[in-house]
Amino acid sequence: MDHITFLVSMVIVTALAFDFTNGFHDTANAMATSIATGALRPKVAVAISGVLNLAGAFLSTEVARTISGGIVADNLVTPGMIFAGLIGAIVWNLVTWLLGLPSSSSHALFGGLIGAVWVGAGRKGVHFNEVLDKILIPAVASPVVAGVAALAATYFTYRLTRRSDGDTVAKGFRTGQIASASLVSLAHGTNDAQKTMGVITLALISCGALAPGSGPPVWVILTAGLAIATGTYIGGWRIIRTMGKGIVDIQSPQGFAAESASTAVILTSANMGFALSTTQVCSGGILGAGVGRRLAEVRWGTAGQMALAWLVTLPAAAAVGAVAASVVVHGGTLGTVLIALAAAAVAAVIVVLSRRSPVDAGNVNDASTVPVRQVANAKAGV
Amino acid sequence: MDVKWGSLGQVALVSFGATVGVVVVFALGVRALAARQEARAHGATGSAQGQVAGVCFTVCACAVLYGLYLIIPQFH
């Protein structure tokens, strides 16, 4: 292991940190509606999701051959750029978490890498056609598909069960939600933990610690799986609140329809080779399920903020990644240390800010908004 | 640039069909379950409704198993 340089060990640590933020950012995708409808108690939901994410990390042995699916020229990428890209992704994930916005962790990672590679290797290092083809078009299409499917499914559900006993219906769909939410969690584990493993493996190959073309060692699979599972279990309660309560007032049939739509879209597009964002698919599904029930309250303001966050995620993470990359490329080891310290400081500030108006397992369902500043009577209001 | 509109459309259609299919069958199952309870409350056995519910939930369970098959690469 004497091949492992300081920079590569920094890449490994940052990659695991990103994996952790990925986990707690995305718990909401699978579990927010189940928590909001009472299908699962909050702590139970995040525990199930964490275990399934860990299982998913071990299930999928196919390693992504390229870290980015051809979005950047992998042969031009250095560990320094990967490090800078990861910093960009982590910082953006933390900012959106503080605001309670469900933004895409995959877009944050791609954005960070694009920014870092652009600065480090020049414009030719980024394949903009691939960006359009593999990120932007699926990003627009997938939530729409999930939304329309969830809308239709919700409509039929309420039509079919409108004369049936309400309690039986609610209970039946809550049970169904447990299955659909678990599938989303497992699919998430097989996809997202892979990305981190791919990044670490590439860094190890680049410094000669692993032979080119080799798969991830067991310790990489284990640490990446544990990082995402721990992040999932800790739970991004702020985002869970927004997705479960903030967009629509969701009932269990809607939750089931939204989760089924998300599962269907994620599985079919994974089979077709589209890389899409679990977050955006699930948000689209929830919105569709909200529109599908007559008289259901859809908070378009929150939905709009979310859409804005989706648009901004890639460029914002790219900007942070670009700044980090320029410091790392020109500053060498000192620059790397400075960027790592700066990122740690930003993370600490964000955690302190979040403490001023904490959202946790106990109060996640109490309100529909995620305040950043403590407002008087925030709990009493809606 | 080579946007795979065909595959995109296919994903859209398959996802839509699978979602609506599974959710409608599940809703029918829940409805049959509620009908069974009502029949029992009126002194009937409700076994016919119970069987309908069983069939519906079995279909949904198969969909979940197929989903697991798709997620786990070892099965391919």
Q: Is the pLDDT of residue A333 over 50?
A: yes
CB-CB neighbors (< 8 A) of A61 in chain B: 73-74
Query: In total, how many domains does chain B have?
Result: 1
Judge contact between A109 and A278, C-beta under 8 A.
Answer: no
| A157-207: pLDDT as tens digits | 999 998 888 888 999 999 999 999 999 888 888 778 888 888 888 788 777
Query: Which residue range(s) make up the domain with B34?
Result: 9-75
Q: Which residue has the higher pLDDT, A149 or A218?
A: A149
What is the total residue count of chain B? 76
CB-CB neighbors (< 8 A) of B49 in chain A: none
Secondary structure (3-state) at A248? strand
Of the listed ranges A137-151, A274-288, A361-375, the one predicted with least confidence: A361-375
Average pLDDT in chain A: 85
| A231-269: pLDDT as tens digits | 999 878 999 999 888 888 889 999 999 999 999 998 888
* Chain B interface includes A170 (CB < 8 A): no
B3 in any annotated domain: no
Share above pLDDT 90 across residues of chain A, in percent, rounded to a whole number: 40
B15 in any annotated domain: yes
Provide the pLDDT for residue A356: 83
| A260-312: pLDDT as tens digits | 999 999 888 877 767 678 889 999 999 999 998 876 678 888 889 888 988 89
Secondary structure (3-state) at A247? coil
* H helix count then E strand count, chain B: 2, 0
Nearest to A160 among B24, B68, B73 (CB): B24
Mean pLDDT by 10 residues, chain B (76 residues): 74 92 94 91 88 94 89 76
Provide the pLDDT for residue A379: 40
B24 in any annotated domain: yes
Residue A89 burial (10 A CB sphere; 0-12, 13-18, 19+): buried
Of the listed ranges A57-61, A78-82, A304-308, A377-381, the one predicted with least confidence: A377-381
A61 and B68 within 8 Å at the Cβ level: the answer is no
Q: Which of A262, A32, A53 is nearest to B22 (CA)?
A: A262
Backbone angles phi, psi at A181, to 5 degrees: -65, -35
Nearest to A260 among B3, B23, B73 (CB): B23
Distance from CA of A150 to the nearest CA of B (A): 7
Q: Which residue of A has its CA nearest to B38?
A: A165
Judge contact between A238 and A100, C-beta under 8 A.
Answer: yes
Q: Is the pLDDT of residue A104 over 50?
A: yes
A271 and B70 within 8 Å at the Cβ level: the answer is yes
Q: Which residue of B has its CA nearest to A285?
A: B19
| A345-357: pLDDT as tens digits | 999 999 888 888 8
A380: confidence class by pLDDT, cuts 50, 70, 90 = very low
A60 and B29 within 8 Å at the Cβ level: the answer is no
CA B28/CA A307 separation, integer angstroms: 34
B2 in any annotated domain: no
Nearest to A59 among B20, B38, B73 (CB): B73
Hey, where are the domains in chain A?
A: 6-355
Most B CBs within 10 A among A263, A274, A281, hence the mutation to make, goes to A263
Provide the pLDDT for residue B8: 83
